[in-house]
């Protein structure tokens, strides 16, 4: 299976990177082809809403790192979103990537992809991720993708904290279970 992992944190060694690393390790150990883009450190501008991509033969007017992601996205059998919680939702970096899906909406809605969400938030209250839960569900519903798994870890501000728990093991197991 072709697995596309899209992370959205600006931190190369943060909490969500720790879970993404473990997930990728698990998926590779199960024989899957994993392609990962750390979008929080890529050059990806927001959708301009210009609708150029909707014109006959049209495509996105922005020429940035999204051009590396879109072909892999269209080809992927499974898409894994990985994001820390920023103000009760995904990061702006990952949201910008998802908004740019608009340029290939038609192809995405016609492909049967599996979708996964991995997220970490600093606070421990169980309502902090409510917005992300419904957002992820609605993205999958709209794209006709199958929502296959969520790993939502609450109460971690730094990587050392989460690495001392079984969350990386859970992420690895999820990757291996695809």
Ligand X SMILES: Cc1cc2nc3c(=O)[nH]c(=O)nc-3n(C[C@H](O)[C@H](O)[C@H](O)COP(=O)(O)O)c2cc1C
List interacting residues with ligand X (CB under 6 A).
Answer: 9, 11, 14-17, 84-88, 120-123, 128, 156-157
Nearer to ligand X, 86 or 102 (CB): 86
Please give the backbone phi and psi of residue 33, each rounded to the nearest 5 degrees, phi first: -90, 115
Nearer to ligand X, 108 or 153 (CB): 153
* Strand-strand pairing, 146-154 and 78-84: unpaired
Nearer to ligand X, 9 or 39 (CB): 9
CB atoms within 10 A of CB 132: 20
Contacts of 57 (CB under 8 A, 6+ apart): none
Smallest separation (angstroms) from ligand X to the CB of 159 = 6
Smallest separation (angstroms) from ligand X to the CB of 14 = 2
H-helix or E-strand spanning residue 87? none
Nearer to ligand X, 16 or 39 (CB): 16
Smallest separation (angstroms) from ligand X to the CB of 103 = 27
Residue sitting closest to ligand X (CB): 14
Smallest separation (angstroms) from ligand X to the CB of 81 = 13
Euclidean distance between CA atoms 36 and 133, whole angstroms:
22
Of the candidates 109, 112, 106, 38, the residue with the CA atom closest to the CA atom of residue 78: 112
């Amino acid at each position: 299976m072709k697995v596309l992992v899209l992370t959205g944190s600006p931190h190369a060694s943060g909490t969500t990177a720790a879970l993404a690393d473990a997930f990728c390790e698990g998926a590779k150990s199960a024989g899957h082809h994993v392609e990962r883009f750390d979008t929080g450190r890529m050059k990806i501008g927001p959708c301009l809403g210009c609708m150029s991509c909707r014109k006959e033969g049209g495509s996105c007017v922005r020429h940035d790192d999204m051009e590396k992601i879109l072909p892999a996205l269209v080809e992927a059998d499974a898409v894994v979103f990985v994001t820390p919680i920023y103000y009760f939702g995904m990061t702006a970096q990952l949201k910008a990537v998802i908004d740019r899906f608009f340029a290939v909406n038609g192809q995405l809605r016609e492909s049967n992809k599996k979708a996964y969400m991995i997220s970490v938030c600093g606070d421990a209250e169980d309502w902090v991720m409510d917005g992300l839960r419904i957002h992820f569900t609605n993205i999958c519903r709209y794209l006709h993708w199958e929502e296959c798994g969520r790993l939502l870890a609450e109460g971690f501000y730094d990587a050392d904290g989460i690495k001392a728990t079984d969350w990386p093991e859970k992420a690895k197991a999820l990757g291996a279970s695809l």
